[in-house]
Amino acid sequence: MNIGGTLIAGPAKGALAGRVNVPGDKSMSHRAVMLASLADGVTEIHGFLPGEDNLATAQMFADMGVRIEWLNSAKTSLRVHGVGLHGLKPSAGMLDAGNSGTCVRLMTGVLAGQDFASTVTGDASLCKRPMRRVADPVRRMGATVDGSDSGNLLPLTVRGGNLKAIHHVSEVASAQVKSCVLLAALYAEGESTVKEPRPTRDHTERMLPLFGQPVHVDVDGVIHLNPVGKLTAPAAPIHIPADPSSATFFAVAATLVPGSDVTLEQVGMNPLRNGWSRILAGMGGQLRLVNEAKVGEESVADIQAVYTALHGLKVNPADVPDAIDEFPALFAAASLADGEFLLSEAEELRVKESDRIAVMARALIAAGANIEEFPDGARIVGGRLAGSCTVDAEGDHRIAMAMAVAAQCSEADITINNAAAIATSFPDFVPLAQSIGMNVHWASV
Ligand code: S3P
């Protein structure tokens, strides 16, 4: 996607060092504002990620009559004046999810519960991504979903109300699909269940009980939700931990650049999110956890990443959902590691903000890497990166940041076009990267 914004990233001028407080978790920020909007009462949220994706979710609720009170100019703290499960009003215009798959897919569940019609759209990248995975289950619950390609592509019009419970067996390991069904299930009569092919991030299941809605996971991993009929704002504020998906870029950069020692503070350590650290450790990476603590229902820790020579790895397919957003950064690491890195059963990467297998392969090959693509993964034989090239992030935030990390160990600069989407998940990436010594800056226009 042609969205502009050019990053110039070059070889690091020395070891990376320092402590970084990366911003709040994107997945949890979406869920916090959604549940708070649908609750009775006022919820205070701290550590909210003020990225474009999360602001799109907050704006959608504002468009449907929820008062969002920002408590600071950085938009990391807010008070949400919930309207209750049945208090949303139809928006005057289309709802706009921007670049955010999580926003649109979870909102499909929320909109399926409303007894009015809403039309939701997004940017050019989101308009190409598959929505049947959420349209189908909410249709089975009784909602109507219209859109092109039989309701697979945005814009989608969702007409809801009078939902029936569902026993959904998901074909894809997707937290977005699971969460869509759980949110719609809040409006249905009787118990709904979701079964996934592999467990995925469970932030929705962990956060719903804070709002008075129990969720039960049985011994087979099936998730059960029996709606109590309302959500209640928690008395205590919700604190959102630092986003492990953002922390990964700096942990990988510190692992790659000789002599580095970087600490990422109070990062979310949910086991269903830290596949990246297991994979990096499997490649020889040294990550030390200190100050382990609990924030609400989630665990956090400071992660200290130091330089280590990496080797290749055959990724265990069971780790794929837990690292699904971190493969661009891990591909950068693999292209600089010793030996072969093999990834399979990761076809979901082809339907993210871009086709992450193809776009990363094109960018890394331009920089001098040795990569072979497969429909469901890739084989990367590590070595050196010459750099001295221009690559296209194609409007995908994580490709832009991963190539900026790769450039720290390339032999010459890499120019990264269409990188402005960094603002969707990590608006402060460049200044924070510079603060630990990474060689990266925006090209002046
Ligand atoms: C997310 C789930 C994942 C992930 C996305 C955030 C979420 O998507 O890639 O960035 O917050 O539920 P899928 O559910 O499509 O795997």
pLDDT digits (tens, 9 = 90+) for 368-377: 999 999 999 9
Query: What are the sequence ranges of the domains in the chain?
Result: 7-24+241-442, 26-238
For residue 12, the CA-to-ligand 1 centroid distance in Å is 31
pLDDT digits (tens, 9 = 90+) for 36-71: 999 999 999 999 999 999 999 999 999 999 999 999
For residue 238, the CA-to-ligand 1 centroid distance in Å is 21
Atom of ligand 1 nearest to the CA of 348: 16
Residue 156's pLDDT is what?
98
For residue 215, what are the contacts with CB-CB under 8 A and spacing of at least 6? 182, 204, 205, 208, 209, 223, 224, 225
Residue 444's pLDDT is what?
84
Atom of ligand 1 nearest to the CA of 178: 14
Atom of ligand 1 nearest to the CA of 174: 14
Beta strands in 7-96 (DSSP E): 7-9, 17-20, 39-46, 67-70, 77-83, 95-96
Reported confidence tier of residue 445, pLDDT bands at 50, 70, 90: low
Report d(CA 83, CA 77) in Å as an integer.
19
Give the mean pLDDT of the chain.
98
Are the beta carbons of 56 and 103 closer than 8 angstroms? Answer: yes
Instruction: State which of 28, 100, 198, 201 you would mutate to test the pocket of ligand 1, scoring each by most atoms of that ligand within 8 A of its C-beta.
Output: 201
Percent of the chain scoring above 70 in pLDDT: 100
Average pLDDT over residues 406-428: 98
Q: Of all protein residues, whose CA lies closest to atom 11 belonging to ligand 1?
A: 27
Q: Of all protein residues, whose CA lies closest to atom 4 belonging to ligand 1?
A: 325
Average pLDDT over residues 127-146: 98
For residue 325, the CA-to-ligand 1 centroid distance in Å is 8
Reported confidence tier of residue 1, pLDDT bands at 50, 70, 90: confident
Measured from CB, residues less than 6 Å from any atom of ligand 1 are: 27, 102, 174-176, 179, 201, 324-325, 348
Reported confidence tier of residue 323, pLDDT bands at 50, 70, 90: very high
For residue 420, the CA-to-ligand 1 centroid distance in Å is 21
Residue 161's pLDDT is what?
84
Residue 226's pLDDT is what?
98
Measuring CA to CA, how many Å separate 387 from each of 75, 332, 381, 441?
Answer: 37, 12, 16, 16
7-24+241-442 to CATH, choices 3.30.110.30, 3.65.10.10, 3.30.70.1230, 3.30.465.10? 3.65.10.10
Report d(CA 189, CA 165) in Å as an integer.
6
Q: Of all protein residues, whose CA lies closest to atom 15 belonging to ligand 1?
A: 174
DSSP 93-154: S-EE-TT-HHHHHHHHHHHHTSSSEEEEE--TTGGGS--HHHHHHHHHTT-EEEEHHHHTEE
For residue 387, the CA-to-ligand 1 centroid distance in Å is 31
CATH topology for the 26-238 domain: UDP-n-acetylglucosamine1-carboxyvinyl-transferase; Chain (3.65.10)
For residue 102, the CA-to-ligand 1 centroid distance in Å is 6
- Residue bearing tokens 């080797």: 311
Residues assigned a catalytic role:
325
Average pLDDT over residues 244-268: 98
Instruction: State which of 174, 208, 357 you would mutate to test the pocket of ligand 1, scoring each by most atoms of that ligand within 8 A of its C-beta.
Output: 174
Atom of ligand 1 nearest to the CA of 27: 11
7-24+241-442 and 26-238 share one fold: yes
pLDDT digits (tens, 9 = 90+) for 145-190: 999 999 999 999 999 989 999 999 999 999 999 999 999 999 999 9
Atom of ligand 1 nearest to the CA of 175: 14
Q: What is the pTM of this model?
A: 0.98
Report d(CA 389, CA 238) in Å as an integer.
44
Average pLDDT over residues 197-214: 98
Instruction: State which of 182, 324, 426 you would mutate to test the pocket of ligand 1, scoring each by most atoms of that ligand within 8 A of its C-beta.
Output: 324
pLDDT digits (tens, 9 = 90+) for 4-31: 999 999 999 999 999 999 999 999 999 9
